[in-house]
Structure 1
Amino acid sequence: LLGLQELEAGNFPTALSFLQEAAGGFCSKRVLAQIYTCLGCCAQRMGKPQTALQHLKRALQVDFQCFPALFHAAAVYHELEETDAELQALALLYEALGKKPPAAASSSPYFLIRTELLVHTPLLAFFLPDHHPSEVKYLLAQRCLQDGRVADAAEHYLDFLALLQEGLQQQVPLNGSSVLPRIPEVFLEAASTLEQAGRHEDAIAVCKEVISRTTDLIPRMLRVEERPEEPECPSPGAGLSQKESLCCLAWRSAAYLHQGWAWAKLGKTKEAVTQFSRCLGDLLRVQIYRSSVEATENLLPEVEVLQKIRLLSLIGRGTQFLEMRQHKEALLDFQHSLQISPGDPDAASYLVEALWNLNRKQEAAARWQKLPQSPPEEEGQGSAPFSFRPFPLYLAWCLRQATFPHGGSLARSMQDYLKTTDQDPSS
């Protein structure tokens, strides 16, 4: 107990000492495995991942059913960026949880005071929580997606959605301790993964589920002020809070956004434009009030996500207008994109392309010269799975799709044009 208290307080050397002393005492194998798991947690927080792994392996040697040890081992492997070992640990944990037998009566000699009764505290449950199979399945899907293992991620996400069909309350804890994000976000991550796997029709179907489930939860209009000074406390019976309404709107608009890109990949340009337009129409429900035009840093995180979705949808619809050779409509979308995110290199590059296609070459060249010569790495590139933050993982695919793909050819066209205008001042 002293070790757990010191661990919670952040006094790791003292906690380590107490826990090591406890490990040398008389206790059952189950409790000893829990002590070694806590030692692993302590070592990890002290910045000693290899030592943590040794303690966690020792815990599993003592009691192979100490599932928290296996879960923490996966977390340590994640910290060490050893993805194969992390996925193997999660897969073993998922398999073990599926075979977990019902709790049996202890065969140990009966004592009036047992170690299990002394250490079975809420504090121990905090460091050694029980994880449900669906949580582990989700982590497998998420880690595979972040590591670019799209086919495996798609299967894990579909397995997770199948688990949900068996009953949400039986699959995930509802006490706020779950590693799962909100369920609509998981659906959107699944749709994103299916798109990357080339299963665009399946992605569209998953998005339809998100849209149907959130439609009745979104008000006709949302008036949003800058980040409130005090947390919102909705009165009972007043419906969803503003935060919840914004989340529902983000999920539905993101579903339309994903459907737009999915239809685009299927070559259905008109259907893609329709879905992008629905996304933009949804976002018109939000009215943002600021004390000053420059005060963008005070926006709620949910509003920032909505702004990003709007930017991606405008770029997406603009690219489809380019495919349909409707260059004026494309130009308007790219101009609006830059109003939302001034200086965005992808929107600016698409704007140059639209101007060039409209034979406004001089204006296009002038715009191109203002572009950064060495643009920063794309937010959505696959080699940097965590570069999307603070934006949700389900937007990662859309961020990559919005990346301007013709930078080299556009640069050559602009350079050739500028050379001719230098030689002919009347151009």
Structure 2
Amino acid sequence: MEAPGCLDRWAKENDGLVARWRAVIASRNDSVVKQTLQQCHHALSQLLRKIQGLPAAVLSLPLELTVLYNTLIFQINVADGFTNEDAQEIEQALVRVLDARGLVRGEMSIEELWQKILLNTDMQQLAPVVHRLAGLQGALWLAANQLEKLKVLFEALSTTEGHTALSSCEPDRAILMLLSTWALPHDETTSLLLAQTSRDLKAVLYTAAAFLQGLRLMEEGDPTAAAGILQEAAAGLCSRRVLAEICTSIGCCYQRMGKPQMALHYWKQALQVDFQCVSALYQSLVLLRHLGKTDAELEALGLLHKALEGSGQGASSTSLHLLVRVELLVQVPALVSVLSTPNGSEVKYLLARRCLQMGRLKEAVEHYLDLMAVLQEKGWQPQEFLHRLPRVPEVFLEATSALLQQEQYQDSLTVSDEIIRRIIDLIPNRLTILLGSDQGEQGQPVQSPVIESSPPQLASSPTLSHENTESLNCILWASAAYLHQGQALAHLGKHKDAISQFSRCINLLFKVQFIRTGVAGDEIAQEDLCRQEQVLQAMKSLALLGRGCQFLQLEKDKDALRDLHLSLQANQKPHRICCKLYGGWAGSRRQHCIGRNFRVHRRQQLRNRRGELSPCTCFHSRKRVVC
């Protein structure tokens, strides 16, 4: 056993390190907080090694367990969570307690060690330090989602204090009841200084347990019970960041309960608590889109993009006076799902797409140009997949569509050139695709494209190899770029150049050949391929129609008649337009037919401004539609 003089010196060393940490936190000097945290952790670890270098003794156990407690408190914060080393340190300490008391032990698990110590009547004088260490053990098991072990431990703690677990308590609330009735020994006014008081640790444990329980109930499909427990968590001890996350989770519960206004209320409350809680803003805009409140949705998208751009610039909303915090204990998939938020590029894309949908062309163009600048800076490749974004060529094609509708024809040409430059070398000389049954006959009209609420990922058809799928994508992308260039040049009055680009589009599309084998295949895969065939035919028809109109402008009537006739053959979609143009030409009413084509095009532009999609500016890539 060590002399009392050494114990006093070590106690003063412990108190000095904790006092130093408290002073740094009180000064709010962020520049030295991290450095002091590391230094205190290192010094306490060294002190603990000195104490544990001697045989375990009853007299030194309170000091040893307190220094261990403080060391683990700092260590958990430095490591940003619990590690296997923490569990080993606690287990070693329990073994030393039994050795110091001379209690017989064999090979025992950590749970058995705790039961032996807590149920031993000779441990009353160690109760304060043992309870603190048990609190850390509970935090470790809570972070690992080992709730049954946590429950058994706190039932044993309640037994030592003369309490018994309430058998009538609901299973969902059993752990919360045990934590709330955990009676802490009152010795902290005269004991050694602590890096975090037992009272604060208990409050953190209760908040974290309620938060986890609420998330679990929400995941299991019981949003009503989840909301009730999460509201208890919101009343507990936590940082502003965690409180905002709890409010966001409560909002998700009310959304699932079919109470959108209550959901919006809690998401607004989350933002008021912590303006950096972008997940609440994202959940709000998704709900606003579902409710059809477009203006509010676009406003939320704009705010979300600004918040993501400014994230990391604001002050941290984490309270550092608590080294073991709720955020270190609650790290589960359910919370990750609730807090999932797109990045800045994804939000910028959603902004651009929604503005294009709603006919806000000027805003859409600005957002697309910003997004393209970011993608260009990253050096995109056609084969690249971006998380939760369409393929990059598709984003650029949407931008050309917006530029065309905004009558920025030269910019549209430039963007289309960039697409073609990146893709042209990846296009094969010929591509043959086998189809099964005739379920996708061309006589069936192409389904009207629908813009989805969030950009889905491109998926490959199981009947096509990855290489062939990419080849088909590249042909569609490049063809659409040539088609857009033809439209832009036509508007600029450069009819010969427009004819050249329409011809390039047509030539590319003729590289693809769909062959029907008559053999039944996977229904979903065949349906996808048939849709792609229909889209390819629609693009071919539009390119022929566009080129025919340019021939009319150049008074090449024979060539115009040929292209208009081929356009009608390629696809039944523009049947009325082609028939009227053809009839007008045949009746020597060429000028009238040109004027009618202009009016048809003008009506299509007006539909675009109302949020409808023009078949002239869209193409499919499997189940995607790019506008």
TM-score calculated relative to the size of structure 2: 0.53
Say whether residues 1:263 and 2:489 are aligned partners.
yes
Say whether residues 1:58 and 2:269 are aligned partners.
yes
In structure 2, how many angstroms separate the alpha carbons of the residues matched to 1:311 and 1:293? 28
In the alignment, residue 359 of structure 2 is paired with which amino acid?
Answer: G
In structure 2, how many angstroms separate the alpha carbons of the residues matched to 1:176 and 1:42? 30
In structure 2, how many angstroms separate the alpha carbons of the residues matched to 1:16 and 1:308? 51
1:327: Cα distance to partner?
3.2
Matches within 5 A, 1:370-389: 381-382=607-608, 385=611
The one of 543, 563, 571 equivalent to 1:341 is: 571
Say whether residues 1:38 and 2:269 are aligned partners.
no
Say whether residues 1:305 and 2:539 are aligned partners.
no
In structure 1, how many angstroms separate the alpha carbons of the residues matched to 2:217 and 2:376? 42
160-169 vs 202-211, greater mean Cα deviation: 160-169
In structure 1, how many angstroms separate the alpha carbons of the residues matched to 2:223 and 2:371? 37
Task: Mark the CA change 1:309 to 1:14 in structure 2 (over 3 Å): closer, same or farther.
Answer: farther
Say whether residues 1:283 and 2:509 are aligned partners.
yes
* Equivalent position of 1:319 in the other structure: 549
In the alignment, residue 195 of structure 1 is paired with which amino acid?
Answer: L
In structure 1, how many angstroms separate the alpha carbons of the residues matched to 2:408 and 2:430? 34
* Equivalent position of 1:354 in the other structure: 582
1:279: Cα distance to partner?
0.5
In structure 1, how many angstroms separate the alpha carbons of the residues matched to 2:535 and 2:222? 38
* Equivalent position of 1:225 in the other structure: 434
Contact 1:207 1:259 (C-alpha < 8 Å) held by counterparts: yes
Task: Mark the CA change 1:232 to 1:108 in structure 2 (over 3 Å): closer, same or farther.
Answer: farther
Say whether residues 1:28 and 2:239 are aligned partners.
yes
Task: Mark the CA change 1:312 to 1:7 in structure 2 (over 3 Å): closer, same or farther.
Answer: farther
* Equivalent position of 1:418 in the other structure: none
In structure 2, how many angstroms separate the alpha carbons of the residues matched to 1:259 and 1:203? 7
Contact 1:380 1:388 (C-alpha < 8 Å) held by counterparts: no
The one of 353, 364, 368 equivalent to 1:153 is: 364
In structure 2, how many angstroms separate the alpha carbons of the residues matched to 1:82 and 1:99? 26
What secondary structure sits across from 1:166 in the alignment? helix
* Equivalent position of 1:404 in the other structure: none
What secondary structure sits across from 1:129 in the alignment? coil
In structure 1, how many angstroms separate the alpha carbons of the residues matched to 2:373 and 2:357? 21
Contact 2:435 2:529 (C-alpha < 8 Å) held by counterparts: yes
In structure 2, how many angstroms separate the alpha carbons of the residues matched to 1:357 and 1:329? 12
Residue-pair matches, total: 368
Task: Mark the CA change 1:341 to 1:233 in structure 2 (over 3 Å): closer, same or farther.
Answer: closer
* Equivalent position of 1:90 in the other structure: 301
211-220 vs 117-126, greater mean Cα deviation: 117-126
In structure 1, how many angstroms separate the alpha carbons of the residues matched to 2:355 and 2:285? 13
Task: Mark the CA change 1:388 to 1:197 in structure 2 (over 3 Å): closer, same or farther.
Answer: closer
**CA offsets per residue over residues 47-85 of structure 1, 9 Å max, x none?**
433222112101101111101111222222222232222
* Equivalent position of 1:181 in the other structure: 390
Say whether residues 1:166 and 2:377 are aligned partners.
yes
Matches within 5 A, 1:89-128: 89-101=300-312, 106-112=318-324, 114-128=325-339
What secondary structure sits across from 1:57 in the alignment? helix
Determine which structure has more spread, i.e. the larger CA radius of gyration. 2
Unaligned runs of 5+ in 2: 1-211, 438-459, 590-602
What secondary structure sits across from 1:109 in the alignment? coil
Task: Mark the CA change 1:215 to 1:314 in structure 2 (over 3 Å): closer, same or farther.
Answer: same
In the alignment, residue 211 of structure 1 is paired with which amino acid?
Answer: I
41-50 vs 79-88, greater mean Cα deviation: 41-50
Contact 1:227 1:299 (C-alpha < 8 Å) held by counterparts: no
What secondary structure sits across from 1:223 in the alignment? strand
Contact 2:214 2:230 (C-alpha < 8 Å) held by counterparts: yes
In structure 1, how many angstroms separate the alpha carbons of the residues matched to 2:253 and 2:486? 47
In structure 1, how many angstroms separate the alpha carbons of the residues matched to 2:571 and 2:261? 44
* Equivalent position of 1:141 in the other structure: 352
**CA offsets per residue over residues 370-414 of structure 1, 9 Å max, x none?**
xxxxxxx97982365356699569864xxxxxxxxxxxxxxxxxx
What secondary structure sits across from 2:304 in the alignment? helix
Unaligned runs of 5+ in 1: 235-239, 362-376, 397-427
In the alignment, residue 581 of structure 2 is paired with which amino acid?
Answer: E
**CA offsets per residue over residues 141-197 of structure 1, 9 Å max, x none?**
11111111111111111111222233269xxxx99642x211111111111111111
In the alignment, residue 404 of structure 2 is paired with which amino acid?
Answer: E
In structure 1, how many angstroms separate the alpha carbons of the residues matched to 2:218 and 2:565? 54
In structure 2, how many angstroms separate the alpha carbons of the residues matched to 1:106 and 1:75? 27
In structure 1, how many angstroms separate the alpha carbons of the residues matched to 2:425 and 2:226? 51
In structure 1, how many angstroms separate the alpha carbons of the residues matched to 2:335 and 2:614? 34
**CA offsets per residue over residues 270-317 of structure 1, 9 Å max, x none?**
111111111110011111011359998563544443233222212222
Contact 1:338 1:348 (C-alpha < 8 Å) held by counterparts: no
Query: Once superposed, what is the RMSD of the aligned Cα atoms?
Result: 3.5
* Equivalent position of 1:331 in the other structure: 561
How much identity, in percent, do the aligned residues show? 45
* Equivalent position of 2:181 in the other structure: none
1:199: Cα distance to partner?
1.0
**CA offsets per residue over residues 312-364 of structure 1, 9 Å max, x none?**
2122222222322333333333333333333x3x3433333223322389xxx
In structure 1, how many angstroms separate the alpha carbons of the residues matched to 2:431 and 2:229? 54
